[in-house]
Amino acid sequence: MTLDYITVETEGAVTIVTLARESARNAINEDMLQEIEDVFRKPPKGTRSFVLAAKGAHFCAGLDLREHYDKDRTPIEFMTMCQAWHRTFDVIQFSGIPVIAALQGAVVGGGLELAAATHVRIAEEGTFFALPEGQRGIFTGGGATVRVARIVTPARMVDMMLSARTYNTQTGLDLGLCHEIVGPGQALVKAKALAAQVATHPPTTNFAIVTGIARINDMSTTDGLFAEGLLAMAVQTNPDIRDRLEAFFSKKTKRLEPDAE
Ligand code: 1HE
């Protein structure tokens, strides 16, 4: 398959997907979205975790505003496109394989919607977050009302959209838009290291973590507790975990330490 807007590489069980449209600050057009959907829907064989990274100084500037202007889409055409964004980002969030994002520069508009679909977000100093759609006279359409609002609260998302304010990396960390701040050039290194570690977990354990917690958040307390039990029933009785438990009893595994990353 020829890819025009992303690159896909594998390092062991880790698949690295890189947005490669630096000249347009990795703005997402229809073809790029399709490439992203295809790779997450049909990962290279043996993939047990993903890194999502981006070339250049900025992670992603969101919707391709040029394409949107040129295509002059009808309401139905834009609805269809939103559904494609939702479908793609749902695959990223719910395929059951952990996705670690390496962020730098602008993570804005649809770029923030994309990042919010990943499971762990590691940001270089200088990364900034914003939803500038309001000032362009448009609205979010890639899932921010669901995913970003759940991270920052709906009230704060309203403020982000009305004010177009930019959050710096530290504020992003405080709000949960990213989970770790690293020095220049370190986001990809750190994301790959975490993805490699995560790839050693049993796949059913990762599946439960990356799909179960978000899904259970949509449920009532009773349903959530029941669903948690069902997931734990499958994960805790998986024969693959017996060796790990044995390694703990025989003191072969590292112990947890305070303040350890
Ligand atoms: C683009 C886009 C884009 C840059 N679509 N072409 N997103 C936004 O409103 C963000 C818009 N972008 C920016 O605010 C800035 O470009 C950045 C802060 C990301 C980077 O600034 P800078 O100074 O490094 O680059 P630049 O000069 O602004 O842009 C470089 C080129 O990328 C330029 O094209 P050129 O042909 O003049 O070189 C820009 O036009 C192009 N470019 N961003 C198309 N977004 C499903 S709904 C989702 C809703 C949204 O995401 S709305 C978009 C929100």
pLDDT at 240: 84
| Amino acid in the structure at residue 170 | Q
Q: Select which of 133, 180, 246, 257 is catalytic.
A: 133
CA of 254 to the centre of ligand 1 (A): 46
Per-run averaged pLDDT (10 residues), the chain, 261 residues: 93 98 98 98 98 98 97 96 98 98 98 98 98 95 98 98 97 98 98 98 96 97 98 93 88 84 66
From the list 113, 124, 228, 246, the catalytic residue is 113
What are the residue boundaries of the structural domains of the chain, listed by start? 6-198, 203-249
- Calpha distance 1→129 (Å, rounded): 33
- Looking at CATH, the fold of the domain delimited by 6-198 is given as 2-enoyl-CoA Hydratase; Chain A, domain 1 (3.90.226)
113 is catalytic: yes
> Does residue 232 sit in helix, strand or coil?
helix
Give dist(CA 210, CA 208) in Å, integer. 6
133 is catalytic: yes
The CATH code for residues 203-249 is: 1.10.12.10
Eight-state DSSP code of residue 143: S
For the CA of 131, the nearest atom of ligand 1: 54
Q: For residue 63, how far is its CA from the centre of ligand 1 (angstroms)? A: 8
The residue assigned the tokens 């990762």 is 206
pLDDT at 261: 66
Residue 6 CA to ligand 1 center (angstroms) comes to 17
Q: What is the pLDDT of residue 21?
A: 98
Any atom of ligand 1 within 6 Å of the Cβ of 140:
yes
> Which pTM was predicted?
0.97
